[in-house]
Chains A and B, each alone.
Chain A
Amino acid sequence: MHVLTADATGQRSIDWIPLVIVVILFVVVAVIGFMASRWRTKPSERGLNSLDEWGLGGRGFGTWVTWFLLGGDLYTAYTFVAVPAAMWASGAVSGFFAVPYTIVLYPIVFLLMSRLWSVSHRHGYVTPADFIGGRYKSRPLALAIALTGIVATMPYIALQLVGIKSVLTVLGLGSNTNAFMADLPLIIAFVVLAAYTYTAGLRAPALIAVVKDILIYAAIIVAIIYLPGKVGGWESIFSAADDKLSAVNDATGKPFGAVIPGAGSFNAYWTLALGSAMALFMYPHSITGVLATKSRNTIRRNAMILPLYSLMLGGLALLGYVAIKAGTNPVDFNGAVNAQLVIPQLFTDLFPKWFAGVALAAIAIGALVPAAIMSIAASNLFTRNIYKDYFKKDATPQQEAKVSKLVSLVVKLGALVFVLGMDTSAAINLQLLGGIWILQTFPAIVAGLYTRWFNKWALFAGWAAGILYGTVSAYNVVNPATGKHFGGSIAAFPFTSITVYIGVSAFVVNALVAVVVTLILRAFKVTDTGDTTKPSDYGADENDPKVVEIEAAAAKEQGANPLAP
């Protein structure tokens, strides 16, 4: 068995060739990011003075741009680092579920998102909470959806920094004893990112995503073809993984994991896949990507071609096993084993130096695209559903764009402070909770796309119950090895011993409360019929006269917001 006693003490010297390549590619991307403000903008709209222009890229992305944008948005650098790390540390259940997750994701997207596109384009909605506000005429419910979105997105942005950090660590940056010098590269990367997101809005990540995806596809295709042969072929890779994972962990008295999940973890596996798939398109950054598309069917065509990324993710996950066989030793600066370093370390160990640079750059740039989109989505939520709804009801599109741009800076600064100042595990715990929380917006949003049957207060009660249940049960998961809370996302389903993803249990609690409270309120003849949308809104396509009219108005006139009360 491959033993993880680190012979290295964590001392790393700077690896110059890959570092230079990473820096060059980073500069290229930064230039593209700044030039993106002039991409597909009419001279009169330079400066991007409305949320439609800044926050949704002019709502004009076609099938291919959307493919790159959503691919870059959903398959983040943290995914690239964390999925193989999970495979390396504990095998299929915590890692490979990402593959069925990103398969069942697209049928769900196919069903739901074109309806959301239609209603949002008829009413000028920019965020999911805009839709909730219009559909249910309920400001508390819209605020709940907006806050959930912002809170769930923040740790996700922080984790993108963790992705960049793992690359920088492997390159040898950050071992400096001076804490400020050690973090300087990360700070520079994020300041540049903040600057071009501020100037170019959603256009910047859309263009950068093209570069990032080409790099990441190249890196992973080469890795999948070249590395297994180099370490002895798939058969020996899987048997090495089996040896490592079936060994008994002294801290828990149980095996570290399994290559093939046992019957006891079947329910955990499929609920993790399904729950994560239901949650992903409730995240504001995914919805931003959907609303930025040109036509109702763009997102449906993308549901057919986006799975190509899932194939790549599957290959990447298997690299976690390749690293087991290759004996990759992911030692951090403090000498401790850090599973997050597995993939960058594997690339540095086994690739020629220049190609290792390309692959590491792909991961680092892969963090910039989602970080940009997430910060845009979070600031759109703040602007539309907090600033405009509660502080300045008559905000003009210019003011909205200005607030959003500033908030995007604050959001990124917050993520940076978080990662530099706190333990990485705090960000990971919060991200785990964020996934559970965002899933609790599913009943209100998805039911709303099809029916107005639910009472708005019932949905609010369901949301609160789901959040409460999910948070408490995630807190109660104690890691047997370290004794810490938030030890994982799997717990027994209420009143049974079947272990499932907590997000799914919380979702069931949420949906049940929403149904029962609606029935009770109806029994007491409480009326709740407020709705600014109409059945025809959910089928409108890009040729619909009202969609055309609203877009034209939003583009040229200020204060012509159809949502204004």
Chain B
Amino acid sequence: MTSHDTPTRGPARPGPYILAGILIAIAIVMPLLVPMYASWDPTLWGIPFFYWYQMLWVFIASGLLGLAYLLMRKEDRRRRAEIREGKAV
């Protein structure tokens, strides 16, 4: 292998990564804040809050990751295009 390193992507703009990082952090931290949801009421169809609230977070976390994915994919494509076009010139 050669010793020099050809970058696969151009320099990152911090904005999209910070935003995506915040979304991902929310998806990790929120489901772990047990005191927020350790209660019986309000019930939903007879199911205590503790249970349906955590199940609800399955959807919310998945949605947050979806947004983070779109943000990061857009920036990632831009960075890769930068390298490809740079090479072509």
Shortest CB–CB separation between residue B83 and chain A, in angstroms? Answer: 10
If A266-B38, A273-B32, A562-B1 touch, does A103 touch B54 (CB 8 Å cutoff)?
Answer: yes
- Using C-beta atoms within 8 Å of the partner chain, give the interface range for chain A: 35 or more
A96 vs B1: C-alpha distance in the bound complex, in angstroms? 50
A270 is an interface residue with CB less than 8 A from chain B? yes
> Contact at B43–A96, with CB atoms within 8 Å?
no
B50 and A103 form a contact (CB under 8 A):
no
Report the separation of the CA atoms of residues A100 and B38 in the bound assembly, to the nearest whole angstrom.
13
A103–B27 CB distance below 8 A? yes
* B62 close to A307 (CB less than 8 A): yes
Which 9 residue pairs spanning A and B have beta carbons closest together?
A234-B46, A235-B46, A270-B32, A266-B34, A534-B5, A100-B31, A107-B27, A539-B8, A107-B24
Across-interface contacts of A99 in B (CB, < 8 A): 54-55, 58
B18-58: contact bitstring with A at CB < 8 Å (1 yes, 0 no)?
00000011011001111100111001011110110011011
* Assembled-state Cα–Cα distance A435/B71 (Å): 34
- Contact stretch, chosen from A195-203, A296-304, A380-388, A446-454: A296-304
Q: When the two chains form their complex, are residues B54 and A304 in contact, meaning their CB atoms are under 8 A apart?
A: no
- Secondary structure at the B interface, as helix, strand, loop or mixed, is helix
Evaluate contact between B65 and A541: CB separation under 8 angstroms. no
A335 at interface, CB cutoff 8 A: no
Q: Are A541 and B80 in contact (CB under 8 A)?
A: yes
Question: Interface code A290-323, partner B: CB below 8 Å = 1, 0 otherwise?
Answer: 0000000100110111011011001000100000
* Count of chain B residues near A, Cβ 8 A: 40
Q: Is the CB of A259 within 8 A of B48?
A: yes
**Contact status of A535 and B5, CB under 8 A, knowing A259-B48, A260-B38, A263-B35:** yes
> With a CB–CB cut-off of 8 A, which chain A residues contact B80?
541
Query: Which residues of A in the span 236-281 have a Cβ within 8 Å of any Cβ on B?
Result: 236-238, 259-263, 266, 269-270, 273-274
Q: Which residue of A lies closest to B23 (CB)?
A: A107
Q: Inside 8 A of A557's CB, which chain B residues have their CB?
A: none
Contacting B32 at CB < 8 Å: which of A100, A262, A308, A540? A100
Q: Which residues 52-81 of B sit at the A interface, judged by CB distance below 8 A?
A: 54-55, 57-59, 61-62, 64-66, 68-69, 72-73, 80
Give Cα distance in the complex from A553 to B59, angstroms: 42
Is B15 at the interface (CB under 8 A from chain A)? Answer: no
B69, A304: Cβ atoms under 8 Å?
A: yes
Q: Are the CB atoms of B9 and A106 closer together than 8 Å? A: no
- Residues from chain B with a CB closer than 8 A to the CB of A111 are 24
CB of B7 within 8 Å of the partner chain: yes
What residues of chain B have their CB less than 8 Å away from a CB belonging to chain A?
1, 5-9, 24-25, 27-28, 31-35, 38-40, 43, 45-48, 50-51, 54-55, 57-59, 61-62, 64-66, 68-69, 72-73, 80
Supposing A104-B31, A307-B62 touch, asked if A544 and B50 sit within 8 A by C-beta, the answer is no
Out of B5, B31, B40, B45, which one reaches A234, CB within 8 Å? B45
A235 pairs with B43, CB closer than 8 A: yes
For window 75-116 of A, CB contacts with B under 8 Å fall at 92, 96, 99-100, 103-104, 106-108, 110-111
User: In the assembled complex, how far is the CB of residue A493 from the closest CB belonging to chain B, in whole angstroms?
Assistant: 16
A274-B32, A541-B80 given. 6 additional CB < 8 A pairs?
A96-B51, A99-B55, A107-B25, A234-B47, A238-B47, A539-B7
| Chain A residues, CB < 8 A from B59 | 307
Which B residues are CB-close (under 8 A) to A334?
A: none
List 14 A–B pairs whose Cβ atoms lie within 8 Å, in order of A's numbering.
Answer: A104-B61, A107-B24, A234-B45, A235-B43, A260-B40, A260-B48, A270-B33, A270-B34, A304-B66, A307-B61, A314-B54, A536-B5, A540-B8, A541-B80
Q: How many whole Å from A550's CB to the nearest CB in chain B?
A: 11
Nearest-Cβ distance from residue A287 to partner chain B, whole angstroms: 20
Inter-subunit contact B32/A314 (CB<8 Å): no
Across the interface, B46 reaches (CB within 8 A) one of A238, A269, A303, namely A238
Cα-based distance from A51 to B72 in the complex (angstroms)? 32
Q: Please indicate the chain B residues that have their CB under 8 angstroms from the CB of A107 in the complex.
A: 24-25, 27-28, 61, 64-65
State whether the Cβ of A233 lies closer than 8 Å to any Cβ in chain B. yes
Q: How far is the CA of A368 from the CA of B68 in the complex (A)?
A: 34
Q: Min CB distance, A310 to chain B, in Å?
A: 5
Q: Are B50 and A260 in contact (CB under 8 A)?
A: yes
B33 proximity list for chain A (CB < 8 A)? 270
The 8 A CB mask of A112-124 against B (1 = contact, 0 = none) is 0000000000000
